[in-house]
Amino acid sequence: GAVVSQHPSRVICKSGTSVKIECRSLDFQATTMFWYRQFPKQSLMLMATSNEGSKATYEQGVEKDKFLINHASLTLSTLTVTSAHPEDSSFYICSGKTGGYEQYFGPGTRLTVT
Partner 1 sequence: EDQVTQSPEALRLQEGESSSLNCSYTVSGLRGLFWYRQDPGKGPEFLFTLYSAGEEKEKERLKATLTKKESFLHITAPKPEDSATYLCAVQAVGRNSGNTPLVFGKGTRLSVIA
Binding flag, residue 55, partner 1 (CB under 8 A): no
Report in angstroms the alpha-carbon separations of 6 from 3, 15, 26, 60, 79.
Answer: 10, 22, 10, 25, 11
We find the least distance from the C-beta atom of residue 82 to partner 1, in angstroms, to be: 23
Binding flag, residue 102, partner 1 (CB under 8 A): yes
Segment interacting with partner 1, rule: CB under 8 A, options 13-21, 42-50, 61-69, 70-78: 42-50
Give the span between the Cα atoms of 75 and 47, in whole angstroms: 19
DSSP 8-state secondary structure symbol assigned to residue 40? T
Site string for partner 1, 73-92 (x = CB under 8 A): ------------------x-
Q: Which of 7, 13, 28, 44 binds partner 1 (CB under 8 A)?
A: 44
Residue 51, judged by CB atoms within 10 A of its CB (0-12, 13-18, 19+), counts as middle
What does the binding site for partner 1 look like in residue numbers (CB under 8 A)? Answer: 1, 4, 6, 32, 34, 41-46, 49, 51, 59, 91, 93, 95, 97, 100-108, 110
